[in-house]
A and B are shown apart, each in its own frame.
Chain A
Amino acid sequence: MIGKLRPLVWLLLALPALLMLYQLASGETFAFKLLHPTGELALRLMVLALMVGPLIAIFGRNRFLLGWLALRRNIGVAAFIYGLLHLVFYVMDMAAIGPILDEFWLPGIWTGWLSFALMLAAATISADWAVKVLGPWWQRVQYAVYGAVLIGALHWYWLDNNAGPALVHLAPLLILWALRGVIKRNRRARKKAREKEHLA
Chain B
Amino acid sequence: MSIKSTTDFTPSAGFTPPTRFAVPGRISVNNLTAATWQRATLTEVRRETPHAATFRFAVPDWEGHLPGQHLMLRLRAGDGYVAQRHYSIASPPDDTGHIELTLDHVDGGEVSGWFHTVAEPGDEVEVRGPLSGFFAWPGDRPALLVGAGSGVVPLMSMVRHHRARGLSVPLRLLVSARGPEELIYASEYGAETTPVFTRTAPEGVPVGRVSAAHVAALLADRPEGGWEAYVCGSNGFAEHASRLLVDAGQPVDRIRIERFG
- Asked if A and B bind, the verdict is no
- Residue numbers of A with Cβ under 8 A of B are none
